[in-house]
Amino acid sequence: MRPHDLSRRELLALATPGLFVFFPLEPLEAFQEPARLPGRQAGPTDFNAWLRIGENGRVTCFAGKVELGQGPTTALAQLLAEELDVAYDAVDMVLGDTDLCPYDMGTFGSMGIRLTGPLIRAAAAEARAVLVQMAAERLAAPAGRLQVKAGVVTDPSSAGKRVTYAELVQGKRIERHIEKVPLKPPAAFTVVGRPAVRKDARDKVTGKGKYAGDFAFPGMLHARILRPPAHGAALQEVDTTAAEKAGARVVRDGGLLAILHERRDLADRALGLVKARFTPPPPGPDDKTIFDHLLKTAPEPRLVGESGSLTEGAKLAHEVVEQTYLNSYVAHAPMETHSATAVIENGKATVWASTQAPFGVKQQVAQALGFTPPNVRIVAPYVGGGFGGKSGGQQAVEAARLAAATGQPVQVVWDRTEEFFFDTFRPAAVVKIRAGLTSAGRIAFWDYQVYGAGDREAHTFYDIPHRRTVSAGNWMGGNPPGMHPFGVGPWRAPSVNTNTFARESQMDILAAKAGVDPLEFRLAHLSDRRMRRVLEAAAKQFGWVPGKPAGKPPSGRGVGVACGIYSGTYVATMAEVVVPSTGRVQVKRVVTAQDQGLTVNPDGSRQQMEGSITMGLGQALGEEVRFRNGEVLDRNFDSYQVPRFSWVPRIETILIDNPDTPATGCGEPPIITVAAVIANAIYDAANIRLLQLPMTPARILEARKRG
């Protein structure tokens, strides 16, 4: 019998102590987050799925979103309170529970408010209309005359005539429906658009809020999984005798070899006692050769957008600037590593998992266990950061499989090395831009090619008569095998980070060539009103003035500008930097103006903007995953440089008032301009142009030497 003919049960039976030869039955990639998630389903149309009014008058709102820190618990509660006319404090949120909440694709792409918001608003507005109708019958008054405040319906023309939502509903389901109820106009808002105390605040400052690794059950085992030292390395031989002597259990289930113990730290210790031999990984690129590798392995470029003709444009050009921009793989590195706790009882599996997509994980777990989906419940409790890196739930599958194998509750919490190893990185990428200037300082043509990152916002929004954009390879998967030597996936504002860095750096180079102030140069190529408005707002707050003489860059002051669009949100950023002789760039000040349409929670939005800007400092100045032949060399925070307190500048955020445009999301957009604005400010300070991210001290010093 060949090993892969064995059923799982038979394999488990093989798990006797001692030395054995191991045949992995699953490709190692099976550990990785899936690049793509199951397709979208529509939200339910019955408002009862979204909200319930309790006998005590409290309103519970159910949404499949996850609280990763971006505050949907708060913003969705505000939207519900607004349309239903109940007090914000009377709303309780239940998020991310697949048994209780309506289906949701996942919490990513700044879609929380953009997509779920309207569904909740519509549900609440309809529920309110039904409740008012019921109240009208109860109070024998025309519905049009009634008023609602904080869940109490009153008849202003007859004192004392009042009934509460709780009295009307009496804890029951509301069976009545009204079609097409209009939403409140923004001018009538009293909750939305104002600050609110975050619903998760108290849980988080007291340490009471539970994350997936904080759940514990009697008999629970902590699992550590034997991992290969490099991507592409296969396990050949393993000896678990010493681990078992130390009191650990060993389980093999398909390609999974786990060491389990009642105490996590003792499971760690036992894993350290396992002797394993792996085949060396096949040779592959490293962090220096990766860019050539990407160009060589990329698929045929695909046309993203085109207008005019590059040949015509070239005829108009008086000067041509051709540059190549590079960025490395970066990790999500959430402070909470992938965690899950699985319990299987009476044929039903419940898994608490740190994931951005509980409904997707439900499918994954059901499939892995051979359970029907109704017999799987995924709960995403508080999640300690995601940024796109928790779009799947491989750790939940691991915990569930091990719970099935042992018959006991199992917890899997990846250690930091696993987190770096199995992360789906922001892809390394190469962007080539050729652009021409006319003798009058206008951009004549723009030829843009992006490899590896994806095409979002790749086609420029500047007014350029002749332009063409092509893209090869993506963060979403579907790349030729081996193009990216690791799993890649969405990383805060996927592909737009890369494209904005390249475009806005090139714009700055062109401005300098034209001898024009970089803000003025951008405005001269912009007719988009919203983009002009964010640039002007940022300039006003920043106090932007053209440098001397006559605005010819670089000015020596260390100031820069960059702008961009992400999923309909407009961002303009200005920054001031200092470039000391050590090459360690210090960002002094960042001003970001953002037009995100309707703002539900201004303080929450500012908080997201600050966070996004701060995170952006990392990929601009320090973050880079180094690797060689499938081995990830950065495995913890000693060498992988995420932003720290000492890096953080003064941050000023401006929200453009635009309530009549639907909300477009605020958590991702501000990050897109950060690397470019710093690169441009470095140029302005030191007359050096950095074309590769991150702009580490070593690269700054090298650029200085080149002059």
Partner 1 sequence: MERTIQFTLNGQPARVTVDDGRMLLWVLRQDLGLTGTKFGCGEGLCGACTVMVGKEAVRSCSTPVKDVAGKQVLTIEGLEREGKLHPIQQAFLKHHAFQCGYCTPGMILSAYALLLKTPRPAPAEILRHMDDNLCRCGAHVRIVEAIQEAAGVLKGGV
DSSP lists the bridge partners of residue 344 as 349
674, two tokens:
């950060």
Rg (CA), the chain: 28
Which residue's CB is nearer to partner 1, number 21 or number 201? 201
DSSP lists the bridge partners of residue 348 as 345
CB of 653 to partner 1, least distance (A): 10
- Among residues 264, 338, 484, 699, the one that binds partner 1 under rule CB under 8 A: 264
Between helices 117-139 and 72-84, what is the axis angle to 10°?
30
CB of 648 to partner 1, least distance (A): 5
Residues 366-395 that bind ligand FES (CB under 6 A): 385
263 binds, options partner 1, ligand FES, none, Cβ within 5 to 8 A by partner type: partner 1
Question: Would you count residue 19 as binding ligand FES (CB under 6 A)?
Answer: no
Closest by CA to 62, choosing from 128, 115, 111, 116, is 116
Question: Would you count residue 214 as binding partner 1 (CB under 8 A)?
Answer: yes
61 binds, options partner 1, ligand FES, none, Cβ within 5 to 8 A by partner type: none
695 CA to centre of own chain: 23
How far, in Å, CA of 289 to CA of 48, rounded?
56
610 binds, options ligand FES, partner 1, none, Cβ within 5 to 8 A by partner type: partner 1
693 CA to centre of own chain: 20
Q: How many residues bind ligand FES (CB under 6 A)?
A: 3
CB of 660 to partner 1, least distance (A): 27
- Among residues 109, 385, 518, 630, the one that binds partner 1 under rule CB under 8 A: 385
How far, in Å, CA of 219 to CA of 59, rounded?
36
Dihedral of CA 422/675/611/655: which sign? negative
Which residue's CB is nearer to ligand FES, number 576 or number 634? 634
- Among residues 49, 183, 266, 524, the one that binds partner 1 under rule CB under 8 A: 266
Q: Which stretch binds partner 1 (CB under 8 A): 55-63, 210-218, 356-364, 498-506?
A: 210-218
- Among residues 170, 206, 346, 581, the one that binds partner 1 under rule CB under 8 A: 206
209 binds, options ligand FES, partner 1, none, Cβ within 5 to 8 A by partner type: partner 1
- Among residues 83, 253, 336, 517, the one that binds partner 1 under rule CB under 8 A: 336
CB of 229 to ligand FES, least distance (A): 23
Which residue's CB is nearer to partner 1, number 213 or number 490? 213
Which residue's CB is nearer to partner 1, number 4 or number 202? 202
Backbone phi and psi for residue 388, each to the nearest 5 degrees, phi listed first: 100, -15
CB 305 within 8 A of CB 467: yes
Would you put residue 463 in left (φ > 0), alpha (ψ -120 to 50) or beta? beta
DSSP lists the bridge partners of residue 353 as 340
- Among residues 436, 611, 622, 694, the one that binds partner 1 under rule CB under 8 A: 611
CB of 617 to ligand FES, least distance (A): 15
597 binds, options ligand FES, partner 1, none, Cβ within 5 to 8 A by partner type: none
Residues 613-652 that bind partner 1 (CB under 8 A): 613-615, 636-638, 642-646, 648, 651
Residues ≥6 apart with Cβ < 8 Å to 303: 468, 469, 470
DSSP lists the bridge partners of residue 425 as 488
Strand order through the sheet with 59-63: 51-53, 59-63, 91-95
CB of 454 to partner 1, least distance (A): 23
Using DSSP, state whether 51 is helix, strand or coil. Answer: strand
Which residue's CB is nearer to ligand FES, number 198 or number 434? 198
How far, in Å, CA of 121 to CA of 663, rounded?
12
Per-residue b or e along 65-74, where b marks 16 or more CB atoms closer than 10 Å to that residue's CB: bbbbbbbbbb
CB 458 within 8 A of CB 450: yes
Closest by CA to 326, choosing from 294, 300, 370, is 294
The pairing of beta strand 59-63 with beta strand 91-95? parallel
SS3 string, 246-282, reads CCCEEEEECCEEEEEECCHHHHHHHHHCCEEEECCCC
Which residue's CB is nearer to ligand FES, number 284 or number 334? 334
CB of 636 to ligand FES, least distance (A): 9
CB of 626 to partner 1, least distance (A): 17
CB of 68 to ligand FES, least distance (A): 9
- Among residues 13, 14, 197, 335, the one that binds ligand FES under rule CB under 6 A: 335
Question: Would you count residue 69 as binding ligand FES (CB under 6 A)?
Answer: yes
Residues that bind partner 1 (CB under 8 A): 67-71, 197-198, 200-211, 213-214, 216, 263-266, 333-337, 382-385, 387, 413, 415-416, 603-604, 607-608, 610-615, 636-638, 642-646, 648, 651
Residues that bind ligand FES (CB under 6 A): 69, 335, 385
